């Protein structure tokens, strides 16, 4: 049964993604700097789950849990449109946010943004107690974009580049970085769109 589930969820998503327009969190670009930009994001709702794993494994595990929720593992068996990115960030931060990932003591928070047509009152209740609905407040984020694999080494390289850019621009970071991935696991690595977000004052 477990093997069937691991295969079935990606296949369902693969069939659905080409047929739908992928909604992303709305934002306004406030500043552009060499290698990164500063954006103002509007508030939005997320479905999120906490995973005990390293960063790379947590993203995949969290994706499966949240994908099950939007494909009908909820009261009423309602289907919810897929959005992007999947956000992941360290659990220690007060985070109600996309799919995003974060981690302290190996615990990672993984999130899917909910389409704007849904409200907290209209979103179906998850069947799994591992899934929670939360609200991400409006935030100003410094964002660096990159393509390629989801390796920790590649993530750390781009995070260092972003932090160096913030220092040059005289911007002060707040909290932990969020790893935002816009593509499903089966997309070829060289076509993937990835971002790292850091909140700034």
**What are the residue boundaries of the structural domains of the chain, listed by start?**
2-200
**What pLDDT, on a 0 to 100 scale, did the predictor assign at position 8?**
39
Around Cβ 108, how many Cβ atoms within 10 Å?
27
Q: Quick one: CATH architecture of 2-200?
A: Alpha-Beta Barrel (3.20)
Q: Give the CA distances from residue 75 to residues 31, 52, 60, 69, 124, in Å, rounded to whole numbers and listed in that order.
A: 43, 26, 24, 10, 6
pLDDT of residue 92: 57
| Dihedral in degrees, nearest 10, Cα atoms 84, 86, 92, 93 | -10
Q: Could you report the average pLDDT of every consecutive run of 10 residues in the chain (201 residues)?
A: 37 40 91 97 96 83 95 96 90 48 68 96 97 96 96 94 97 93 88 96 90
| Nearest C-alpha neighbor of 120 from the set 44, 48, 23, 69 | 44
What's the pLDDT at 112? 96
Determine the pLDDT at residue 21: 57
Q: What is the pLDDT of residue 53?
A: 84
d(CA 67, CA 65): 6
Q: What pLDDT is recorded for position 59?
A: 85
pLDDT value at residue 192: 93
């Amino acid at each position: 049964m477990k093997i069937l589930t691991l295969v079935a969820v990606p296949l369902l998503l693969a069939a659905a993604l080409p047929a739908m327009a992928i909604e992303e969190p709305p934002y306004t670009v406030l500043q552009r700097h060499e290698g990164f930009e500063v954006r103002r994001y509007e508030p939005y709702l997320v479905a999120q789950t906490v995973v005990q794993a390293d960063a790379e494994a947590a993203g995949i595990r969290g994706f499966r849990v949240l994908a099950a929720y939007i494909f009908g593992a909820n009261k009423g068996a309602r289907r919810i449109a897929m959005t992007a990115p999947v956000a992941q960030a360290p659990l220690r931060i007060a985070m109600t946010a996309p799919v995003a990932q974060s981690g302290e003591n190996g615990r990672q928070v993984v999130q899917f943004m909910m389409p704007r047509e849904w409200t907290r009152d209209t979103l179906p209740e998850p069947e799994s107690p591992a899934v929670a609905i939360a609200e991400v407040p409006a935030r100003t984020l410094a964002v660096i974009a990159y393509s390629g694999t989801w390796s920790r080494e590649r993530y750390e390289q781009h995070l260092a580049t972003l932090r160096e850019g913030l220092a040059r621009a005289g911007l002060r970071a707040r909290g932990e970085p969020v790893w935002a991935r816009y593509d499903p696991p089966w997309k070829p690595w060289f076509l993937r769109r990835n971002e790292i977000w850091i909140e700034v004052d």
